[in-house]
């Protein structure tokens, strides 16, 4: 199917176009390309036809290194397709959002933006492991340059830390992937890097011990991206220093590459090991939720606060993934999309404020509702979406993740290894989130008007310009839409999720059975004595 290739190549062509055009035309070219890509993704979504089933659409393959089974094969299931849509939606907004914020080295800037779009789409469309890895790694390069050239004052440290953390993580994941591929080659005699083949193989043929090693390798790789406690420390730095569009892409899509990786690889590849390790990963996620939430509480830098809130929020997403039941998984996938929408919007808002006042310090700024009512409206709106106000999107996904976690006990048709205690502690995180976000809103939106003096004033209007409203409005509309009609998205991904989860109930039951058996043996042993 040609749509997938167009989706991949269009941004690359656009990047070349940007480099070839003049500096003044660069942003127009970039905007047109991203809009066209969005259009193509809509067309592809219509053409997709396998919504709701677990099948792959847009499937296509070009042989590349056939000796070792590496091909350029693409295709998407419904979850991947949704994330592609999220990516292509956010990109034109990111370009529009940087319209006035970036004023130098324009061609490079928009070139990198378009390249990162291609790489992100590639990650979601890849059906070949090596192709996936290439795209996954390549997202680092544009982001590195976006932070390093256009970032804030501490950018040098931020971009190096960002690069080294993620690069190290993904190298370890690569070794894990290669190990699986080798095991496959060992047992069948031919190399193959098709993701689906390797997943089925690993899930059925690898022993628990082997799966554990693979799980550890993959989780290290993806946990850095998510980021999961304790490898989250690169994120606040990178977010704070990145230009607005960079932060939006980072929060909106790049972090999801980690959770998507867990959904696409960890869950299907190493089910036995996942059942064994889900509680540990769940605990790490909860530590992340609470710890990052508490850090947010004491932040005075708005952008840093939103950055840490990402760490906290994605903890819910991880919990949902390891709940191992449809509710949790649906919640997690929805969470990926919702977090992309609302946190992306929050970063836009912070960026718009920063463009006007050149500060993000909560103590030196306040009562902006009086100066910028439209901005204030959007700020409150997206904070509420992020906090999880019923009726908006955040609520649905957070609630599903928590319910999923709660229900992941030992009984039911989808037994799990988390359970009420995990849900209880995670729910504390919701309260903390409400606290820090509302405190932030209280300080900068309401109260007495406090405006820092900004010497070099841009020719920006006091309140949002129409362009900025256009950036925020689509996100707001989607937040409402997914808040009242989450069913559309949930139905669409049902098939993929059920497919992923199909093997789990038996494995979990088996594991529980084993534990009870062992327990009763111990008990009996004790009684006999």
- Give me the residues that bind other proteins (CB under 8 A), please: 63-68, 70, 130, 133-134, 137-138, 141, 145, 148-149, 155-156, 159-160, 163-164, 167-168, 171-172, 174-175, 178-179, 181-182, 185-186
CB nearer to other proteins: pick between 174 and 392: 174
* Short-list 7, 472, 463, 24, CA closest to 244: 472
Angstrom distance (rounded) from CA 92 to CA 30: 8
In angstroms, give the least distance from the CB of 4 to other proteins: 18
DSSP state of 254: I
In angstroms, give the least distance from the CB of 257 to other proteins: 14
CB nearer to other proteins: pick between 183 and 385: 183
CB nearer to other proteins: pick between 161 and 313: 161
In angstroms, give the least distance from the CB of 1 to other proteins: 22
In angstroms, give the least distance from the CB of 178 to other proteins: 5
In angstroms, give the least distance from the CB of 72 to other proteins: 10
Q: Is the preceding peptide bond at 230 cis, omega within 30 degrees of 0?
A: yes
CB nearer to other proteins: pick between 120 and 174: 174
In angstroms, give the least distance from the CB of 334 to other proteins: 31
| SS3 state of residue 126 | strand
CB nearer to other proteins: pick between 106 and 401: 106
* Cβ atoms of 87 and 121 closer than 8 Å: yes
In angstroms, give the least distance from the CB of 143 to other proteins: 13
For residue 473, count CB atoms less than 10 angstroms from its CB and return exposed for 0-12, middle for 13-18, buried for 19 or more.
middle
Whole-number Cα distances in Å, 38 to 12, 45, 245, 493: 14, 10, 17, 20
In angstroms, give the least distance from the CB of 84 to other proteins: 20
In angstroms, give the least distance from the CB of 215 to other proteins: 15
* Cβ atoms of 357 and 453 closer than 8 Å: no
* Short-list 103, 128, 107, CA closest to 17: 107
Q: Locate all alpha helices (DSSP H) within 102-207, ordered by sequence.
A: 106-125, 129-138, 140-150, 155-188, 195-205
Give the torsion sign (CA, 160, 166, 167, 169): positive
CB nearer to other proteins: pick between 63 and 442: 63
- Phi then psi for 226, rounded to 5 degrees? -60, -50
CB nearer to other proteins: pick between 224 and 384: 224
CB nearer to other proteins: pick between 184 and 348: 184
Exposure string (b/e) for 108-123, b if CB count within 10 Å is 16 or more?
bbbbbbbbbbbbbbbb
CB nearer to other proteins: pick between 64 and 377: 64
How many CA atoms within 13 Å lie on the side-chain side of 363? 3
* Short-list 398, 402, 357, CA closest to 375: 357
**How many CB atoms lie under 10 A from the CB of residue 465?**
15
In angstroms, give the least distance from the CB of 185 to other proteins: 7
In angstroms, give the least distance from the CB of 246 to other proteins: 15
Angstrom distance (rounded) from CA 188 to CA 464: 61
Angstrom distance (rounded) from CA 80 to CA 125: 7
In angstroms, give the least distance from the CB of 482 to other proteins: 34
* Cβ atoms of 131 and 72 closer than 8 Å: yes
**How many CB atoms lie under 10 A from the CB of residue 36?**
17
How far is the first Cα of the chain from the last one, in angstroms, to the nearest whole number? 69
User: 147: which 2 tokens?
Assistant: 């932070």
The two counts, helices (H) then strands (E), for the chain are 23, 2
**How many CB atoms lie under 10 A from the CB of residue 332?**
28
CB nearer to other proteins: pick between 129 and 336: 129
In angstroms, give the least distance from the CB of 171 to other proteins: 4
Angstrom distance (rounded) from CA 422 to CA 462: 46
Give the DSSP H or E segment for 75.
strand 70-76
CB nearer to other proteins: pick between 140 and 403: 140
CB nearer to other proteins: pick between 186 and 491: 186
CB nearer to other proteins: pick between 178 and 503: 178
């Amino acid at each position: 199917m040609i749509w997938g290739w167009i989706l991949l190549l269009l941004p690359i062509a656009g990047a070349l176009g940007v480099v070839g055009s003049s500096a003044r035309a660069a942003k127009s070219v970039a905007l047109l390309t991203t809009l066209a890509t969005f259009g193509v993704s809509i067309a592809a979504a219509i053409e997709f036809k396998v919504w709701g089933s677990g099948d792959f659409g847009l499937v296509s393959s070009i042989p590349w290194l056939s000796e070792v089974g590496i091909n350029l094969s693409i295709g998407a299931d419904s979850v991947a397709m949704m994330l592609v849509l999220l990516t292509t939606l956010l990109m034109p907004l990111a370009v529009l959002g940087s319209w006035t914020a970036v004023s130098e080295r324009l061609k490079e800037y928009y070139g990198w933006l378009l390249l990162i779009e291609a790489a992100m789409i590639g990650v979601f469309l890849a059906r070949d492991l090596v192709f996936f890895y290439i795209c996954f790694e390549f997202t680092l390069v544009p982001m590195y340059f976006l932070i390093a050239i256009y970032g804030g004052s501490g950018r040098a440290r931020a971009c190096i830390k960002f690069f080294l953390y993620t690069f190290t993580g993904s190298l370890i994941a690569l070794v894990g992937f290669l190990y699986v591929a080798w095991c496959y080659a060992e047992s069948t005699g031919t190399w193959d890097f098709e993701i689906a083949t390797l997943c089925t193989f690993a899930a059925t043929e690898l022993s628990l011990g082997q799966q554990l090693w693979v799980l550890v390798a993959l989780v290290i790789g993806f946990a850095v991206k998510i980021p999961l406690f304790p490898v989250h420390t690169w994120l606040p730095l990178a977010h704070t220093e990145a230009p607005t569009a960079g932060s939006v892409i980072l929060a909106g899509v790049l972090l999801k590459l980690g959770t998507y990786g867990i959904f696409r690889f960890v869950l299907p590849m190493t089910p036995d090991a996942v059942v064994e390790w889900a509680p540990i990963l769940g605990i790490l996620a909860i530590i992340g939720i609470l710890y990052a939430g508490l850090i947010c509480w004491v932040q005075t830098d708005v952008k840093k606060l939103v950055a840490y809130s990402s760490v906290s929020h994605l903890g819910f997403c991880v919990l949902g993934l390891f709940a191992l039941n449809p509710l949790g998984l649906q919640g997690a996938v929805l969470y990926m999309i919702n977090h992309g929408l609302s946190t992306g919007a929050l970063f836009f808002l912070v960026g718009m404020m920063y463009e006007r006042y050149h500060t993000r310090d909560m103590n030196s700024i306040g009562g902006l509702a009086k100066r910028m009512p439209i901005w204030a409206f959007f700020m409150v709106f997206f904070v509420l979406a992020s906090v999880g106000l019923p009726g908006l999107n955040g609520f649905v996904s957070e609630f599903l993740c928590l319910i999923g976690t709660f229900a992941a006990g030992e009984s039911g048709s989808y037994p799990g290894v988390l359970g009420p205690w995990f849900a209880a502690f995670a729910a504390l995180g919701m309260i903390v989130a409400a606290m820090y976000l509302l405190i932030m809103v209280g300080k900068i939106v309401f109260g007495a008007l406090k405006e820092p003096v900004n010497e070099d004033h841009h020719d920006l209007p006091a309140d949002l310009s129409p362009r900025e409203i256009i950036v925020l409005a689509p996100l707001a509309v989607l937040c409402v839409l997914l808040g009242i009609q989450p069913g559309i998205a949930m139905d669409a991904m049902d098939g993929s999720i059920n497919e992923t989860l199909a093997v789990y109930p038996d494995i979990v039951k088996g594991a529980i059975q084993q534990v009870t058996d062992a327990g009763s043996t111990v008990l009996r042993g004790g009684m006999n004595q």
